[in-house]
Amino acid sequence: MRNFFRILSLLVLLLAIALLSAITTMHFAIHGAEVQVPALKGMTVAQARSETAGLRLNLIVDNRYYSGEVAAGHILTQSPDPGTIVRHGWRVRVAESLGPQQVQVPNTVGMSEQAAELTLRRAGIDVGQPAYLPEPDATAATVLAQDPPAHAEDIAQPTVSLLIAAPSDQQPDGWVMPDLVGMLAPAAESTLIRVGIKVAPLTYVDVPVAPVGSGNSLPQAPVKPGAVIAQSPVAGARVEQADTVHLTVAR
């Protein structure tokens, strides 16, 4: 009987050791493949790539922006945030600074689509996804509008989107959002609906009466009831057929 208990105790001990070993192995298998995302902001892209490669992470530069605060070639933002626990092989996406804006946005309105793209690329500016709008009074395949406009300053990205005149019988695939602020709501809705842009139910807000003015300050013009005071998307943005425009109107 004593030998039986000794054998049983030994089996229990061996089972406990095996269980502990299995738990330890699982812990290292699971957590040994995890790593903490480093802080990359301010590093050069080369430094950030070296840092992430050492941790077996994949660095992807998926955006480039102008910045007056971060030197060109350095990291502006990152995702995931520093300190986030991820697995080996995880993609860390960063935005690279282009430094202060040094290029002037050329005027391409009236050019052919091909000439406009060539002009922009020669200036070091990328061409965004174009939108096409039937315009009976314009020559097909010419630029009707661009965003950002010519000579724009403090732009975020080196990309210009073009609105191209399409043949009058062609269905448009998108529009450039017009500036509706200041227009009366019925006129703004009519402008959008006429070209096939959907409009959400209007949002009305109370607008305080502007002060009369005192001293040398000039009186401010009051906001007309029923006038558009805000819009989304903003003027100049590309609007797809599936998008809905939201207008805020003064009550």
Question: What pLDDT does 179 receive?
Answer: 82
pLDDT for 111 equals 95
42 vs 39: CA distance, rounded Å: 9
Give 236's DSSP letter: T
Distance of CA 4 to the CA centre of its chain: 72
d(CA 246, CA 131): 20
Instruction: Please report the pLDDT score of residue 14 as a whole number.
Output: 73
How do the pLDDT tens digits run along the chain, 251 residues long?
A: 666 667 767 777 777 776 766 665 555 455 558 999 999 999 999 999 999 999 999 999 998 999 989 999 999 999 999 999 999 999 999 999 999 988 899 999 999 999 999 999 999 899 988 888 777 778 889 998 888 889 888 888 898 988 888 876 666 667 777 788 888 999 889 888 877 788 999 999 887 765 555 455 555 556 788 899 999 988 777 787 778 999 999 98
pLDDT at residue 240, as a whole number: 78
pLDDT at position 93 is: 94
Give me the pLDDT at residue 74, please: 96
Query: Hey, how many other C-beta atoms are within 10 angstroms of the C-beta on 87?
Result: 12
* CATH 3.30.10.20 is held by the domain 29-100: yes
Record: fold of 177-210+221-250: Trypsin Inhibitor V; Chain A (3.30.10)
The distance of Cα 134 from the centroid of its chain, to the nearest Å, equals 28
So what's the pLDDT on residue 61? 94
Closest to 147 (Cα-Cα) out of 112, 115, 105 = 105
Q: What is the pLDDT of residue 193?
A: 83
Every domain range in the chain assigned CATH 3.30.10.20 = 29-100, 177-210+221-250
Locate 11 and state its tokens: 């089996």
Write down the pTM of the prediction: 0.53
Give the helix/strand (H/E) hosting 117.
Answer: helix 113-122
3-state secondary structure of 200: coil
Q: How confident is the model at residue 156, as a pLDDT?
A: 85
C-alpha–C-alpha distance, residues 127 and 108, integer Å? 12
> What pLDDT shows up at residue 135?
76
